[in-house]
């Protein structure tokens, strides 16, 4: 952090390491050749990060992203706010609000298809439940939080009622907080957001 501040780095993306199955790191951990992830140490590092970043004037605008004023990531913010975006090139993803599509990953196939006037992609239509789940998952990670007005407009009054009902438990625990017309994570709640968000999911 001292080095980042000294270099006047405008944006920091700080994600905790997750060990995925079938990766070389996971294999080394299973063999005892590498230590497994220490989640307690990760939590301590996260606290140090947020404390020093705040002192240096960074805005902790998303759970894993911090920026000096005026330097938020526009691309990622669009994703977190469910805005539409267009992906161009191999493996690129696009989002229309109700559908998601992704271009073929193979470079040669992508190029040959484009030369024939064809965009090679697959797509999926997102159910309202999936759209709601994704909004909850991403919005609770942001400083603005989950907008009740957006939930009402996009998913209806019953969705707002359901969201508030589930949120009450975490508000009582001090992990979520309500402010004006939104729901956001507290400093304590940021450590448990994956589990908290999952409790809101519709299936």
pTM for the model = 0.85
Question: How many beta carbons lie within 10 A of that of residue 110, not counting itself?
Answer: 20
**Is 93:84 a contact under the CB 8 Å cutoff?**
no
> Any bridge partners for residue 126, and if so which?
none
Residues of the chain with pLDDT under 70: none
Q: Given this model, what pLDDT does residue 41 score?
A: 94
For each of the domains in the chain, give its residue range(s) and CATH number, in order of start.
Answer: 2-72 (no CATH), 78-125 (no CATH), 128-200 (1.10.10.920)
| Cα of 4 vs its chain's centroid, Å | 23
pLDDT digits (tens, 9 = 90+) for 133-168: 999 999 999 999 999 999 999 999 999 999 999 999
Q: Given this model, what pLDDT does residue 79 score?
A: 85
Q: Given this model, what pLDDT does residue 80 score?
A: 86
Q: Given this model, what pLDDT does residue 81 score?
A: 86
The Cβ-side half-sphere exposure at 185, using a 13 Å CA radius, reads 23
**Is 191:43 a contact under the CB 8 Å cutoff?**
yes
CA dist., res. 190 & res. 176, Å (int): 9
What the block records as the tokens of 132 is: 């709601």
Q: Given this model, what pLDDT does residue 180 score?
A: 87
């Amino acid at each position: 952090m001292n080095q980042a501040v000294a270099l006047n780095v405008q944006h920091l993306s700080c994600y905790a390491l997750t060990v995925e199955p079938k990766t070389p790191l996971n294999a080394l951990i299973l063999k005892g050749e590498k230590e497994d992830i220490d989640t307690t140490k990760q939590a301590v590092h996260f606290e140090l990060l947020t404390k020093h970043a705040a002192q240096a004037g960074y805005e902790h605008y998303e759970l894993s992203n911090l920026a000096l004023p005026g330097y938020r990531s526009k691309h990622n913010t669009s994703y977190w706010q469910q805005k539409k975006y267009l992906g161009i090139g191999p493996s690129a993803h696009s989002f229309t609000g109700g559908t998601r599509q992704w271009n073929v990953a193979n470079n040669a196939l992508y190029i040959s298809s484009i030369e024939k006037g064809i965009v090679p992609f697959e797509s999926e239509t997102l159910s309202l439940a999936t759209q709601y789940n994704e909004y909850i998952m991403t919005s609770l990670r942001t400083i603005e939080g989950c907008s009740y007005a957006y939930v009402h407009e996009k998913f209806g009054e019953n969705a707002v009622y359901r969201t508030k009902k589930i949120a009450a438990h975490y508000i009582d625990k001090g992990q979520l907080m309500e402010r004006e017309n939104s729901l956001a994570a507290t400093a304590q709640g940021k450590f448990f957001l994956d589990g908290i968000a999952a409790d809101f999911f519709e299936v």
